[in-house]
Amino acid sequence: MDSPAREPAMGDINDERRRLSATWLNTIASGVVSAGSCGSLLAYSFGPRPGISGLQVLVVSTCALGLGATLHLLARALLNNR
């Protein structure tokens, strides 16, 4: 015997929206870290005459890592905010 379809409660919908938003923020954080660190390192390593110094690569990578960590912590706070 089939049971009738259960309507989702508003709490379930809000929890799912919160999870999706946190996942989206975490994905953006991963992209920022990847683009900031890998992109600048590859440009510095394989460029025929790199227009940036090693210090600039370090600064860009550090800023990308910091921004990625901030976005990740924001996503975690979004999940913990019930």
Q: 3 in a domain, yes or no?
A: no
Sorted by sequence, the CB contacts under 8 Å of residue 1 that are 6+ apart come out as none
Tens-digit pLDDT profile for residues 24-71: 999 999 999 999 999 888 888 887 776 778 888 899 999 999 999 999
**What pTM, to 2 d.p., does this model score?**
0.76
In a domain, 71, yes or no: yes
What is the domain range of residue 65?
A: 15-80
DSSP for residue 39: H
Split into its structural domains, the chain has a count of: 1
Q: How far apart are CA 57 and CA 13, in angstroms?
A: 43
